Structure 1
């Protein structure tokens, strides 16, 4: 299977991307290691039960999908439903699967396309799994999510009705379950089965391949559309398409409005009236077909020779049908082609392409400047310097270079449907000679006086937006943005061309200081040399600005993982220090915070003797006492519950939040209180077992937290 790789150009190493999941060694979703879990289940002779995606209604959803469910929902393993369950067979086809109660035709359309490329299918569905050999009730699948490959583990408990019929994706062969289990793994990745409702076929195609989408609006289809589709089919690309949006309903012509289809074949035929280009499509429902020209019962077939008619025409009701390219352009809105290598946009096949990838983030008030209409903030968007070089293997008479840019935004919630995609887009500006020598960000004046290559930047509320450019060799700046200012999201920017260099341009506009220098600065000069300059420009800082400042500092040492303060933690910190209830911090309030942080860092590193990046309950007690604070043992137990992880260990971020609350709020209150509130018996530590009991689903202490810590 062809794959994209990072290629160094001009002797420079590409910037390291902070992504851990690779094609050969994917990241384990929620830390679940498939092989270790299999071995554990085989040793204990117990079938796997996935506590992170339990056999409960919460895994199905909590909205409209529940109304479609039968009165009785049961969770059954395949061997409880059929005598000889099979996970996968070599002759799987696009006709195997049927859609269930979930409105996820976009997922089924992509899945049908996946069966046409066996190499990709074997990567998504690892083949060393079965219901016979080393069976432990556990299966795993691989998906590409936001720049990295992820391995997703599920148990084989599937939701069925009282008659044992699968509620969601099922297979024509009743004993085949790869489709149902793959859908369950994808539902776990999305948050629930309900989070798979409503989507774009392009989204699932990228998640199956890690490729790049080329979306063609058929109303403005290029004149060489047929050649583009032929090159896509010959190179093993996956293709899907969609009808016009609206309520999902069957039209008079047999097509379904607001529905996704799979492109399964192309054929040029010669009839009595001349040659005609035909497109073969499949409805993921496995039924309801096109009724126009070249449909199963169309008289058009009589114009072909007997052999060709016998080869192409199928009259069974299986959801698959032929139609002319002209009808395809007239009745479908867009064509999506997912390519593992982007040679699709060029007539030069078999040539090597360069891929560069950059991770970024739009942050309200800092790097989320909105579109160009917002002239005061647009320049604050992330900027990337793109240098287009003429590839050695390009045609000699070629003037411009083909460049494909993909902008992918990350969902902001665990549940896919709870974070609808923002309207996003990108612009590319030529950089004149006078600006090419600088590595700093281009100023506001540049964007006021220069126009982008794409004069009209289109913003689309989809997870991924792609655009192809034809650029002359030279220097450019690429600006990804949201449509409106102060809209927050992480994103990945991918650029494909024959030869280029892509680098981030300068620092974020509001972060004009490097806090790493602060630790080496004498305390009496800290504010004069660094912070004073920052607070002259921003007298009051928000929680987002506080987060950016704190995350410029290395708070750990040695081989410990880097500590990053979350926005929630920064808001909690501000709540302790914001005496004026203004929602911001002044320089004096920040001064006090900084001194406390340096003190907390020294104590944390001193007490973290094993350099794990966490404090145990005993180490926490010693750390608090080092600040001259003595608390009741029961209070330490409560603090571990409130601020610790599942093992009751506390990292530096939570240690800071804990110490601020103890020092500022709790200690003064406790000194005025004769005794602590009584601790329930369920919270008292029992030497005979770990403290405390954890619930199975969330791995959080199974107690009611009625005490404010």
Structure 2
């Protein structure tokens, strides 16, 4: 890596704007501890994650008697945090888990991410010329549920017979991989906590990104050429945005991990997508024959098998990842050769190895290979995209804004409807007994990303303080988004037919769910759910968009003023009314119009709409009425950019209790209270005398 890039990356680690606020795990402040160690000329020993079997976790007791803890200097005489190699090759140790090896292998391909997780990495590097300055403390940064967290560790690493037993660099004197994994284990509670997980979860924790998984087997990708074209367009777009993408073949049992398919692909491994390209497959001398021929959509992947495999296949009976295939050198054909020779694309199958560079299909690493999109969807089952958004230091042109809140599913009695864990059945009476959040979309068809993550809600304790701690059970989670009244500020109590459900995320047993799409203008209610009612857990909701979108928690069942009224007023009846401004006819001579609704001291305004023969709004509003006998009023205005808005007409809206969403037409009257002939506002009105009925 050249010195210019090194300098840029070094500077990148110093940019505090990217980490406006960083939490300090266990209140262990790196600078303070290191300064004290330097003054005492001592080496760090971490009391919160000590070099003992308890830090390994209770499920590794079968090797506890064989494990020693050694500092890097005792393992290699010339330790380095990063060596000078262009690529770090990742290897698994005796106790490595497959998902961690895969995640680290992907991160190692993007040095910028490595240096981001290792802040001020040059400062942490070993200094052979001044060994007395070494303090044995390192610090790393992870993104955990809405917050960057800095974790410090000492440099003790577990070994058996002098060999590192967890994930490490193939270079014997490079230690950033082992130390980063130790910090991650400390954050999660123990090394044992790394036994099970998803590659996407680790990448989200390392980048602060948002992951989305696409099931390549659930659609018709293999038979539908249009779907494949859409998929390739997505890959090209995400590649341009420098998203992290990988594909995999999930396993259903431990025995399947590491098995090699007939195409040379390894089950359970993540194949990092490094390039996409559309090219003509054919002899350049016959270019004239290619006119009108479709280009082939090609995907370049980086093969983890053979170059990031564990050195040992021995593992605990309960460990999720153990065995890996032999390297390509142990087979008659490499993965690169098999994916070409057995391709569904006959033109690609005929291409010779020596011709690839000439036609533009070069590789930059021995583990890389090209595959047509039709083979990609046939032989791989899942595609995962990790988008970096605010943390994407490549995409300088885009500025994303984020709003996030944490929440909880609980069963304790909270308010008139009991707990906040009503389950995920939208047709159940308990569905709305879940946490509720609202947000507004102010621009038409604005792209929005919704991310929901679940976790146990507590700071990970070290295994030393909680021996035999139970692993957090991943719940079946989902969420629903409902379009509601533009002025709703309180919880929804019943899903009446006029409420439109716009997003339904099916329940999955995953740590993270993600939706990405466009929504029209309006106010929306987001309801995070567990599949079964009565489940308890914590979650984070993130909204990401290129415009300001504020996420609000809805805690109150009714407005505060209504609660006060019911306590002190002699009049016990308080009504709730929903009004939908459907449309207007007979408005002429103006360009833009809007409506103003008034109920007591409450005043709201509809959207500004271009005037046509029949103006259509569809805007809904909710009112809590302390004086049911007093009618609501509606006014229609002509909107002017320069001059003052002009009143067209107004009308009273009778809204007695009707227990249903009923249509209503009112005729506007002018300033002189004379009816405007054929000028009609069409409404829908729904009034209940039970304020908790809507």
Q: TM-score range by the shorter chain?
A: 0.5 to 0.7
- What's the counterpart of residue 148 of structure 1? 147
Following superposition, the deviation at residue 171 of structure 1 comes to: 1.6
Q: Given that residues 439 and 525 in structure 2 are in contact (C-alpha distance below 8 angstroms), is that contact kept between their aligned partners in structure 1?
A: yes
Go from structure 1 to structure 2 and tell me whether the alpha carbon gap of 1:376 and 1:444 turns closer, same or farther (over 3 Å shift): same
Go from structure 1 to structure 2 and tell me whether the alpha carbon gap of 1:301 and 1:313 turns closer, same or farther (over 3 Å shift): farther
- What's the counterpart of residue 85 of structure 1? 79
TM-score norm. by structure 1 comes to: 0.61
- What's the counterpart of residue 22 of structure 2? 26
Secondary structure of the 2:259 match is coil
Following superposition, the deviation at residue 457 of structure 1 comes to: 3.4
- What's the counterpart of residue 279 of structure 1? 300
Go from structure 1 to structure 2 and tell me whether the alpha carbon gap of 1:476 and 1:82 turns closer, same or farther (over 3 Å shift): same
Q: Given that residues 406 and 540 in structure 2 are in contact (C-alpha distance below 8 angstroms), is that contact kept between their aligned partners in structure 1?
A: yes
Establish whether residue 308 from structure 1 lines up as the match of residue 336 from structure 2: no
Secondary structure of the 2:549 match is strand
The 2-side partners of 1:188 and 1:427 are apart by 34
Residue from 432, 446, 449 that aligns with 1:404: 449
Q: Given that residues 361 and 490 in structure 1 are in contact (C-alpha distance below 8 angstroms), is that contact kept between their aligned partners in structure 2?
A: yes
Per-residue deviation, residues 420-467 of structure 1 (Å, max 9, x unmatched)? 221111111122xxx333311112244x6634113x531111111001
Residue from 444, 451, 468 that aligns with 2:516: 468
Following superposition, the deviation at residue 190 of structure 1 comes to: 1.4
Per-residue deviation, residues 453-496 of structure 1 (Å, max 9, x unmatched)? 13x53111111100123211122211111111121122111112
Establish whether residue 131 from structure 1 lines up as the match of residue 130 from structure 2: no
The 2-side partners of 1:330 and 1:311 are apart by 21
Q: Given that residues 301 and 313 in structure 1 are in contact (C-alpha distance below 8 angstroms), is that contact kept between their aligned partners in structure 2?
A: no
- What's the counterpart of residue 266 of structure 2? 256
Go from structure 1 to structure 2 and tell me whether the alpha carbon gap of 1:293 and 1:249 turns closer, same or farther (over 3 Å shift): closer
The 2-side partners of 1:252 and 1:277 are apart by 20
Secondary structure of the 1:502 match is coil
- What's the counterpart of residue 47 of structure 1? 43
Residue from 509, 532, 540 that aligns with 1:492: 540
The 1-side partners of 2:207 and 2:557 are apart by 36
- What's the counterpart of residue 385 of structure 1? 438
RMSD of aligned Cα (Å):
3.7
- What's the counterpart of residue 11 of structure 1? none
Residue from 104, 110, 114 that aligns with 2:107: 114
The 1-side partners of 2:434 and 2:78 are apart by 57
The 1-side partners of 2:558 and 2:442 are apart by 32
Go from structure 1 to structure 2 and tell me whether the alpha carbon gap of 1:412 and 1:342 turns closer, same or farther (over 3 Å shift): closer
- What's the counterpart of residue 376 of structure 1? 429
Following superposition, the deviation at residue 182 of structure 1 comes to: 0.7
The 2-side partners of 1:356 and 1:510 are apart by 24
- What's the counterpart of residue 330 of structure 1? 378
Equivalent residue runs for 1:562-641 within 5 Å: none
- What's the counterpart of residue 38 of structure 1? 34
The 2-side partners of 1:33 and 1:118 are apart by 25
Go from structure 1 to structure 2 and tell me whether the alpha carbon gap of 1:490 and 1:88 turns closer, same or farther (over 3 Å shift): same
Unaligned residue ranges in structure 2 (runs of 5+): 1-7, 10-16, 222-226, 284-294, 310-325, 342-348, 413-418, 462-468, 573-694
Go from structure 1 to structure 2 and tell me whether the alpha carbon gap of 1:387 and 1:55 turns closer, same or farther (over 3 Å shift): same
The 1-side partners of 2:101 and 2:562 are apart by 49
Secondary structure of the 2:403 match is strand
Question: Between Structure 1 and Structure 2, which shows a larger proportion of strand residues?
Answer: 2
Following superposition, the deviation at residue 203 of structure 1 comes to: 0.5
Go from structure 1 to structure 2 and tell me whether the alpha carbon gap of 1:328 and 1:440 turns closer, same or farther (over 3 Å shift): same
Q: Given that residues 113 and 239 in structure 1 are in contact (C-alpha distance below 8 angstroms), is that contact kept between their aligned partners in structure 2?
A: no
Residue from 496, 499, 524 that aligns with 1:450: 499
- What's the counterpart of residue 234 of structure 2? 228
Following superposition, the deviation at residue 187 of structure 1 comes to: 0.9
Following superposition, the deviation at residue 235 of structure 1 comes to: 2.2
Q: Given that residues 423 and 460 in structure 1 are in contact (C-alpha distance below 8 angstroms), is that contact kept between their aligned partners in structure 2?
A: yes
The 1-side partners of 2:429 and 2:401 are apart by 35
Q: Given that residues 340 and 371 in structure 2 are in contact (C-alpha distance below 8 angstroms), is that contact kept between their aligned partners in structure 1?
A: no
Q: Given that residues 82 and 175 in structure 1 are in contact (C-alpha distance below 8 angstroms), is that contact kept between their aligned partners in structure 2?
A: yes
Per-residue deviation, residues 126-166 of structure 1 (Å, max 9, x unmatched)? 2120222531111111000011111111111111112x111
The 1-side partners of 2:25 and 2:401 are apart by 29
How many corresponding residue pairs? Answer: 481
Establish whether residue 355 from structure 1 lines up as the match of residue 402 from structure 2: yes
Following superposition, the deviation at residue 373 of structure 1 comes to: 4.2
Following superposition, the deviation at residue 74 of structure 1 comes to: 1.0
Larger radius of gyration: 2
Residue from 242, 246, 258 that aligns with 1:240: 246
Q: Given that residues 380 and 508 in structure 1 are in contact (C-alpha distance below 8 angstroms), is that contact kept between their aligned partners in structure 2?
A: no
Residue from 488, 499, 505 that aligns with 1:438: 488
Secondary structure of the 1:38 match is helix
The 1-side partners of 2:356 and 2:475 are apart by 52
Establish whether residue 270 from structure 1 lines up as the match of residue 280 from structure 2: yes
- What's the counterpart of residue 62 of structure 1? 58
The 2-side partners of 1:100 and 1:480 are apart by 39
Go from structure 1 to structure 2 and tell me whether the alpha carbon gap of 1:412 and 1:353 turns closer, same or farther (over 3 Å shift): closer
Secondary structure of the 2:508 match is coil
Q: Given that residues 201 and 240 in structure 1 are in contact (C-alpha distance below 8 angstroms), is that contact kept between their aligned partners in structure 2?
A: no
- What's the counterpart of residue 164 of structure 2? 166
Q: Given that residues 296 and 313 in structure 1 are in contact (C-alpha distance below 8 angstroms), is that contact kept between their aligned partners in structure 2?
A: no
- What's the counterpart of residue 364 of structure 1? 411
Following superposition, the deviation at residue 499 of structure 1 comes to: 2.8
TM-score norm. by structure 2 comes to: 0.63
Go from structure 1 to structure 2 and tell me whether the alpha carbon gap of 1:374 and 1:511 turns closer, same or farther (over 3 Å shift): farther
Following superposition, the deviation at residue 71 of structure 1 comes to: 5.6
Equivalent residue runs for 1:638-649 within 5 Å: none
Q: Given that residues 441 and 507 in structure 1 are in contact (C-alpha distance below 8 angstroms), is that contact kept between their aligned partners in structure 2?
A: yes
Per-residue deviation, residues 579-626 of structure 1 (Å, max 9, x unmatched)? xxxxxxxxxxxxxxxxxxxxxxxxxxxxxxxxxxxxxxxxxxxxxxxx
The 2-side partners of 1:54 and 1:504 are apart by 42
Go from structure 1 to structure 2 and tell me whether the alpha carbon gap of 1:258 and 1:459 turns closer, same or farther (over 3 Å shift): same
Per-residue deviation, residues 162-194 of structure 1 (Å, max 9, x unmatched)? 2x1111112221111111111111111111112
Question: Between Structure 1 and Structure 2, which shows a larger proportion of helix residues?
Answer: 1
The 2-side partners of 1:315 and 1:211 are apart by 26
Following superposition, the deviation at residue 405 of structure 1 comes to: 0.7
Q: Given that residues 137 and 156 in structure 1 are in contact (C-alpha distance below 8 angstroms), is that contact kept between their aligned partners in structure 2?
A: yes
